[in-house]
Chain A
Amino acid sequence: MQGGTSVRLYGLEWPKESARISRVLDLLVAAILFLAVSGAFHLHYMLTAGDWDMWIDWKDRQWWVTLSPIMAITFPAALQYVFWTKFRLPIAATFAVVCLLFGQWINRYFGFHLWSYFPMSEVIPALLIPGALVLDVALLLTGNFLFTAMSGAFAFALLFYPTNWFWLAPYRLPVEVMGQLVSVGDYISYAFTRTALPEYIRLIERGTLRTFGGHSAIIASFFSAFVSILMYLAWWHIGMLLARVVTTPNTLKNFMGLTDKDEPAEAAQKAIDGTSLQGRFVAAE
């Protein structure tokens, strides 16, 4: 930047007033985007991986670990396309998961805890921030969406389980209830009942994944990491499609004798060639 009536931003001259308005716009857009992404991403995540993320007795070593990163990498990937290609900002993934976490905590605290009486220990959302940070830094350092998919998206899923184990472990301590072995998480959800969500609804640890070293979370994480790469690529392109400004050529204006100001020569040529209706009138004259 420099003194006087203008400032230099990223190599370009800006009037001071314009730069100031632009900064106000930054803050306004950031606030609006924060709320919009919070709502949209939260809705998407609840519809696709909601119960696993919601309840302490759904956070298993197989489905939760597999599905959560696959469903959570969607918005970060799409936003990364827009943020990076249009603004060179490597913060989209972190921004998206912070928005998601904000929406989740608001929903869990006001909706589930205060309104519906569930204890907070039953409805803790998963942490996705470390994976998102790695995804953003991967894009920053490689500058390439393919390498970001292979390294960042892979790490996004691999980091999911260890990241969440920090806070989840106390809920996996063993307790004896009515002569049965259950985890603390199982007992919390048994005690604080979900009237319409009984035990059998849970989709937890099925199949024989646990034969791989006795711990299904590892193989589930690697499988999730592989699918997350594909999801990242797909959603990067969805971001690309959604960021496109689509216009429809206005053919009616030809009837009015109007032409595009930017392309007078081309329009005139078309008129002469008779390639448009207006042109044919012109040609007839």
Chain B
Amino acid sequence: MRTFCFRKSSRLLVILSAAAAIMQIGILTFVPDAALAHGERNQEPFLRMRTAHFYDVNWSTNEIPVNGEIVVTGKFRLFPIWPVNLPLPEAAFLGNGTPGPVLARTESYINGVPAIQSTKLELNRDYEFKTVLKGRVPGHHHVHPMINVMGAGPLLGPGNWLTVTGNESDFKLPIKTLSGETIDNLETWGLGRVFFWHGLWVAIAIVWLVWWLRRPLLLPRFRALTEKGGDRSQLVTSTDRLFGAGLLVATILIVFFGFQATDIAYPRTVPLQGSRATVEPLPEVPEQVKVVVNKSNYDVPGRSLRMNVTLTNNGSTSAQLGEFLTSNQRFINHEVSQAMAAVDPNYPKELLPPNGLKVSDSRPLKPGETKTVDIEAADAAWETERLSSLINDPDNTLGGLLFFYDEHGKRTISNVSGPMVPVFTDPDNRTAENPKGGPG
């Protein structure tokens, strides 16, 4: 009976395991988007709200063949209210967030300076970037610009889907060395030499091991060492010593002459390069509109961020609040035509919350005018992008950029930041249209 139960439960276990395996394969096969995106939503909200804000990001294409090029350009601002628990960007590197090296990066620049090395960046300053990537592995890949900051980790910009078509085996990344060699493909460069030398030494090692393994090994040798009558001289013979000595000489000779031959074959080599690049930020543009956050709430059941802000226009032209950018989510004020016009029709839709930005008074702010308005960014994106978990962060401060437009469409950018208080229930039924609450 016991045996029967065991067999029954074993069979059940096998069936369940097989079902789980089939489900896993199914998920990986039929839900590629979920599998190929790379965890940008898992980054804590304070990282995404108060470190690098990417804007004007453009992907030159949505589809390339293997060896085809995509150029990703844009700008980023390092937020001035940098999280205290992160080190300052003393060393930063312009990366690209892709699922591994499915694309090959051939060029990258920050403000026109080659970004092959890391560099120091300044807070509250803007930088322009450009990355040229070459299709390598066919598939549907999510491509982000990214800034890696030492101690803070990867700070991802917005991502867009790219389809790479063709055959991986057609990929080539050629380059000519300064000493005259032509490299057809960096993927396979030097591998013949690697395989030869690794193979040679493994073969020599196997000869040495087999020399000893061919004789009775463990128990006979152990007994011979520990029991009376064991002949230790047979364990290591003079032939063994002679063979070992010969191997020693051969090893040293191969290493010595191999090294000499390699030096002759490659007389001009350079060490790894580990310098730091110097990048000046873009010229500083004074903030036209000063933004003071009087109060900000995150309405948990309503999935809505509400801010009461006082805006002061210190410029000589009018300013109209057109966009709130935080964590790569662009909340556009649909009442401002310049803001709507600034959205590239090819921009990833998942980064443009459909409800946009509601402003209690969208009329242009005249030069010198100060006005207090309520802003509401309500969208399921707060949940789907896992930004609402800001309420669980020890540093519960929101951050983002506000984009203002004058009557000619000229844009200025202001930082917005302040403590955020969660609202778990909303008995007053407040909305952007009815900020005072009540029946409305």
A: which residues have CB within 8 A of B? 9-12, 14, 19, 22-23, 25-26, 29-30, 57-61, 86-91, 94-95, 97-98, 101, 105, 116-121, 124, 127, 129-130, 132-134, 136-138, 140-141, 159, 162-163, 165-167, 169-188, 190-196, 198-202, 204-205
Q: How many Å lie between the Cα of A181 and that of B232 in the bound state?
A: 60
Question: Which residue of A19, A89, A140, A191 is within 8 Å of B106 (Cβ)?
Answer: A191
Q: How many Å lie between the Cα of A121 and that of B197 in the bound state?
A: 14
Chain B contacts for A199, CB-based, 8 A: 93, 116-118, 274
Q: Would you call B266 and A172 a contact (CB within 8 A)?
A: yes
B: which residues have CB within 8 A of A? 38, 91-93, 95-107, 109, 114, 116-118, 136-137, 146, 148, 150, 153-154, 173, 175-179, 181, 183, 186-191, 193-194, 196-198, 201-202, 204-206, 208-209, 212-213, 216-225, 227, 229-232, 234-236, 240-241, 244-245, 247-248, 251-252, 254-256, 258-259, 262-263, 265-266, 268-274
Nearest Cβ distance between residue A201 and chain B, in whole angstroms?
8
Chain B contacts for A134, CB-based, 8 A: 248, 251-252
Q: How many Å lie between the Cα of A177 and that of B105 in the bound state?
A: 11
Return the chain A residue nearest B274 by Cβ: A204
Q: Would you call A91 and B212 a contact (CB within 8 A)?
A: yes
Q: Would you call B217 and A195 a contact (CB within 8 A)?
A: no
Q: A127-B198, A184-B186 are known contacts. Are A133 and B205 too (CB-CB below 8 A)?
A: yes
Q: Would you call B114 and A174 a contact (CB within 8 A)?
A: no
Question: Which residue of A132, A137, A140, A170 is within 8 Å of B189 (Cβ)?
Answer: A170
Q: How many Å lie between the Cα of A1 and that of B191 in the bound state?
A: 47
Question: Which residue of B188, B194, B234, B245 is within 8 Å of A141 (Cβ)?
Answer: B245
Question: Which residue of A101, A182, A188, A195 is within 8 Å of B146 (Cβ)?
Answer: A195
Q: Would you call A30 and B217 a contact (CB within 8 A)?
A: yes
Q: How many Å lie between the Cα of A239 and that of B98 in the bound state?
A: 45
Nearest Cβ distance between residue B80 and chain A, in whole angstroms?
22
List 15 interface pairs A-B (beta carbons < 8 Å), by A numbering: A10-B220, A12-B224, A12-B227, A22-B219, A26-B218, A87-B221, A116-B101, A167-B196, A172-B270, A173-B268, A179-B114, A193-B95, A193-B100, A194-B101, A200-B93
Q: Would you call A175 and B218 a contact (CB within 8 A)?
A: no
Question: Which residue of A10, A11, A94, A200 is within 8 Å of B209 (Cβ)?
Answer: A94
Q: How many Å lie between the Cα of A183 and that of B190 in the bound state?
A: 13
Q: Would you call B114 and A172 a contact (CB within 8 A)?
A: no
Q: Would you call B183 and A200 a contact (CB within 8 A)?
A: no
Chain B contacts for A183, CB-based, 8 A: 269-273
Question: Which residue of B93, B116, B137 is within 8 Å of A178 (Cβ)?
Answer: B116
Q: Would you call A101 and B116 a contact (CB within 8 A)?
A: no
Q: Would you call A166 and B259 a contact (CB within 8 A)?
A: yes
Q: Would you call A193 and B234 a contact (CB within 8 A)?
A: no
Q: Which of B96, B247, B248, B272 has the most CB of A within 10 A?
A: B272
Q: Would you call A166 and B258 a contact (CB within 8 A)?
A: yes
Q: A22-B220, A140-B240, A165-B259 are known contacts. Are A91 and B209 too (CB-CB below 8 A)?
A: yes
Q: How many Å lie between the Cα of A198 and that of B255 in the bound state?
A: 34
Nearest Cβ distance between residue B130 and chain A, in whole angstroms?
11
Chain A contacts for B206, CB-based, 8 A: 98
Chain A contacts for B197, CB-based, 8 A: 127, 166-167
Q: Would you call A177 and B255 a contact (CB within 8 A)?
A: no
Q: Would you call B216 and A19 a contact (CB within 8 A)?
A: yes
Q: How many Å lie between the Cα of A185 and that of B248 in the bound state?
A: 32
Nearest Cβ distance between residue A100 and chain B, in whole angstroms?
11
Nearest Cβ distance between residue B211 and chain A, in whole angstroms?
8
Question: Which residue of A58, A121, A127, A140 is within 8 Å of B191 (Cβ)?
Answer: A121
Q: A26-B218, A173-B266 are known contacts. Are A129 and B202 too (CB-CB below 8 A)?
A: yes
Return the chain A residue nearest B137 by Cβ: A117
Q: How many Å lie between the Cα of A187 and that of B177 in the bound state?
A: 11
Q: Would you call B236 and A140 a contact (CB within 8 A)?
A: yes
Q: Would you call A133 and B209 a contact (CB within 8 A)?
A: no
Q: Would you call B219 and A141 a contact (CB within 8 A)?
A: no
Q: Would you call B175 and A26 a contact (CB within 8 A)?
A: no
Q: Would you call A133 and B204 a contact (CB within 8 A)?
A: yes
Nearest Cβ distance between residue A59 and chain B, in whole angstroms?
8
Q: How many Å lie between the Cα of A119 and that of B227 in the bound state?
A: 54
Return the chain A residue nearest B144 by Cβ: A195
Q: Would you call B251 and A130 a contact (CB within 8 A)?
A: yes
Return the chain A residue nearest B139 by Cβ: A117
Nearest Cβ distance between residue A224 and chain B, in whole angstroms?
16
Return the chain A residue nearest B146 by Cβ: A195
Q: A10-B223, A180-B116 are known contacts. Are A170 and B272 too (CB-CB below 8 A)?
A: no
Interchain residue pairs A-B with the least CB separation, the first 6 = A11-B231, A10-B224, A178-B114, A198-B148, A192-B101, A119-B187
Question: Which residue of B99, B190, B273 is within 8 Å of A182 (Cβ)?
Answer: B273
Q: Would you call B271 and A170 a contact (CB within 8 A)?
A: no
Return the chain A residue nearest B259 by Cβ: A162
Question: Which residue of A26, A174, A198 is within 8 Å of B268 (Cβ)?
Answer: A174
Chain A contacts for B103, CB-based, 8 A: 193
Q: Would you call A101 and B202 a contact (CB within 8 A)?
A: yes
Given contacts A120-B187, A133-B247, A136-B244, 6 further A-B contacts (CB under 8 A): A22-B216, A23-B216, A89-B212, A117-B99, A133-B251, A200-B118
Question: Which residue of A12, A86, A97, A166 is within 8 Å of B262 (Cβ)?
Answer: A166
Q: Would you call A140 and B181 a contact (CB within 8 A)?
A: no
Return the chain B residue nearest A98 by Cβ: B205
Q: How many Å lie between the Cα of A131 and that of B217 in the bound state?
A: 24
Q: Would you call A12 and B221 a contact (CB within 8 A)?
A: no
Chain B contacts for A30, CB-based, 8 A: 213, 217
Q: Would you call B224 and A11 a contact (CB within 8 A)?
A: yes
Q: Would you call A19 and B220 a contact (CB within 8 A)?
A: yes
Q: Would you call B247 and A137 a contact (CB within 8 A)?
A: yes
